[in-house]
Amino acid sequence: MSRPVCARRLVDDAVKPKLLEVFNSNYRVYGRRKMKAALRREHGVTMDKDRIARLMRELGIRGATRSRTTVTTRPDRSSPRAPDLVNRHFRAARPNELWVTDFTYVPTWSG
C-alpha cells in the first residue's frame, strides 16, 4: 500500500519548473524575495517566502549576494600537522598544568 501524493507535493512539482525559468531568465541572481515577486508578476503564482526558499534549496539554486565571505583557512594537505602533545586528554589535575590553544585565523597586514 502506498500513500497518494499530497496536494502540496503536486503544487511544488508544478511550480519548480516555473522557479527555474524565472531564475534563469533573470541572470541567475534572484533570491527568494525577488523570486516571490517575479512568480506573482509573471505566472500569477502566490506563495509564501519560506516555501519558495525551501523549493530553491531543493533545486539547488541560490540568489547572488553582495556580501563577501571571509575565507579563514586554506589548508595545505601536504604539510605536516603539529604533534598532539596531550593525546587529546584535556584534563588538568592542578591549575596551570595544561595550557591548550587553537588559532585558525590570525589577521595580518600582508593578508
pLDDT tens for each residue of 45-80: 999 999 999 999 999 999 998 887 777 777 777 877
Sorted by sequence, the CB contacts under 8 Å of residue 22 that are 6+ apart come out as 30, 35, 38, 39, 42, 43
Instruction: Report the distance separating Cα 26 and Cα 34, nearest Å.
Output: 10
Cell 522557479 locates to 19
Sorted by sequence, the CB contacts under 8 Å of residue 65 that are 6+ apart come out as 31
- Work out the burial of residue 69: count CB atoms within 10 Å of its CB; fewer than 13 is exposed, 13-18 middle, 19 or more buried: exposed
pLDDT tens for each residue of 23-37: 999 999 999 999 999
Q: Which helix (H) or strand (E) holds 57?
A: helix 49-59
pLDDT tens for each residue of 81-108: 777 777 877 788 899 888 877 766 677 7
Say what the pLDDT of residue 111 is: 59
Chain centroid, CA 94 distance in Å: 43
